[in-house]
Amino acid sequence: MYKVVIIDDEPIIVEGISRMIPWDKFGCRIVATANDGIEGTEIIRKLKPNILFSDIAMPGLDGLSMVAGIKSEFPNTEISILTGYRDFDYAQKAIRLGVARYLLKPSNMDEIKEAIEAMVGNLTAKNIVSEDTETNPTEECKQSNTVSSFIVNNAVKYIEQNYAHKLTLSEVAEKTYISQWHLSKLLNRHMGQNFSEILNHIRIREARKLLKDPSLRIGDIAERVGFIDMAHFSRVFKKILGTSANEYRNKIVSREINT
């Protein structure tokens, strides 16, 4: 039997899909339901369902990021979206990320049954017959570059917006709806750097901009870009640029005088 999870913040929808569909007829069984995205992603990571029905317009949830995270970690999971969000571009993005069906609320039972048949058919075509959704390397590669790039871009964007505070891999992973381990793997694969290296490069890039202002002390700049320890800032700056922050600033001043 294929494992099914349903996520929607409207209990009546969860109850309706759970009770009104003859799941055993499709070779499926519901293993869990959730009424919010955070609980839902925890359930998905724990139970690894074969099929997921989910709303993507729930409070505090970035629907596309959640879809991308699921498809990246569990590429064989079939996903159908249930939403009142009538936006063609959004629907296209969801489908590019691997969504099997994009169903607008209110959806009738025939539409939902057709979605189930399509998802079961996809699972069968991929020779997935057990309840455990295993990561298929070939399938992961196909889902691919589109899903992985989406996640990495979101992760880097989040780092660029939050580099100034004590940022952790755990926080970024939570915002991109994937595990720390999986995010670390994607960053290394697509960026050729680990999380700390990416974060430090962004911080030093911003420090270089601030060093152009002679009224700012280097210690204040280090703190402003997220370094608590001045010595750590100095080591990282020199490692990345091959010179100290003070020498870098002097070069800038000298260049401006000469021009």
Q: Measure the CA–CA gap between 126 and 129, rounded to whole angstroms.
A: 9
Domain range enclosing 10: 2-141
CATH code, domain carrying 252 = 1.10.10.60
Amino acid at 46: K
Query: Does residue 191 form part of some domain?
Result: no
The structural domain count of the chain equals 2
The backbone torsions φ and ψ at residue 144, rounded to the nearest 5 degrees and listed phi first, read 170, -130
- In the chain, DSSP assigns E strands to 2-7, 28-34, 51-54, 78-83, 101-104
**Amino acid 168: pLDDT:** 96
Residue 44: name the closest of 82, 72, 16 by CA: 72
**Residue 152: inside a domain:** no
Kindly report the CATH number assigned to the domain that includes residue 7: 3.40.50.2300
Q: Is residue 187 part of a domain?
A: no
Beta bridge partners of 7: 34, 54
CA dist 61 and 84 (Å) reads 15
- pTM beyond 0.85, yes or no: no
Is the same domain home to 24 and 119? Answer: yes
Do 21 and 127 lie in one domain? The reply is yes
Q: Tokens representing 200?
A: 């430090």
Q: String of b and e for 6-21 (b: at least 16 CB within 10 Å)? A: bbbbeeebbebbeeeb
Question: How far is 151 from 69, CA to CA, in rounded Å?
Answer: 7
The one-letter code for the residue type at 249 is: R
Same domain, 74 and 201: no
User: Mind listing the pLDDT tens digit of every residue in the chain (259 residues)?
Assistant: 999 999 998 899 999 999 999 999 999 999 999 988 788 888 998 999 999 999 887 777 788 898 999 999 999 999 999 888 788 888 899 999 999 999 998 888 999 999 999 999 999 998 887 555 554 545 555 557 889 999 999 999 999 999 999 999 999 999 999 999 999 999 999 999 999 999 999 999 999 999 999 899 999 999 999 999 999 999 999 999 999 999 999 887 667 666 5
Amino acid letter, 175: K
pLDDT for residue 226: 96
- Same-domain pairing of 109 and 214: no
